[in-house]
Amino acid sequence: MAVTSPERRVWWNEPVERVELIWIGVALLWGLFMFFFMIAWHFIGGQNLSNETYRVVPSAYQDKVDAFAQKYQVGEEAGTPVVRPPAGVDVYLLARLWQWWPVLQLEKGQSYRLHLSSVDWQHGFSLQPTNINIQVHPGYEHVVVLTPTEAGEFGIICNEFCGIGHHTMTGKIIVVDSKAGAK
């Protein structure tokens, strides 16, 4: 029984069982393999995005996004501007309680520099269903190079709890294939 003392008082000098050593070895090697494979995933899995990050004053970021949206707005969806920037330019997305703003319309196969920041709290940018996740903080501007490979509508949800309206914090990126339309 566990409540009785061990038969030999000094039990910890016993040699470790061979099978146990093997298991510790296997677990250690697997752990190391997984650790270094994080670097490999960056190249072969397209994960762990490389991004640039800059300090920014939230109100200055908001001004940039407003100017961007005004310049390239092509429509409106439920009160949110739909913005279609020309291929290759810097595109801006703003997180705030509780929306991703504006709706972006991008072209398949073109690369964009996507800027991301928050003007209030911490939010989580999660692009569905591709499973790209980026933390979005006020005061920091992330720049990610984005090249849509598929046409369609992609939802953005917030995956960092940000208060009572967290579950309503959604947005959208529309990817259009202009080549397919021309045929």
Residues that bind ligand CUA (CB under 6 A): 98, 123, 158, 160-162, 166, 169
Question: Could you tell me which residues come within 8 angstroms of residue 4 by beta carbon, excluding any fewer than 6 positions away?
Answer: none
Least separation, in Å, of the C-beta of 51 and ligand CUA?
A: 19
Least separation, in Å, of the C-beta of 141 and ligand CUA?
A: 17
Report residue 40 as tokens: 């490999």
User: Which CB, 104 or 151, lies closer to ligand CUA?
Assistant: 104
Query: Cα(159)–Cα(172) distance, rounded to whole angstroms?
Result: 15
Least separation, in Å, of the C-beta of 162 and ligand CUA?
A: 3
User: Which CB, 68 or 100, lies closer to ligand CUA?
Assistant: 100
Report residue 20 as tokens: 């146990």
Q: Which of 157, 122, 126, 161 is nearest to 140 (CA)?
A: 122
User: Which CB, 83 or 94, lies closer to ligand CUA?
Assistant: 94
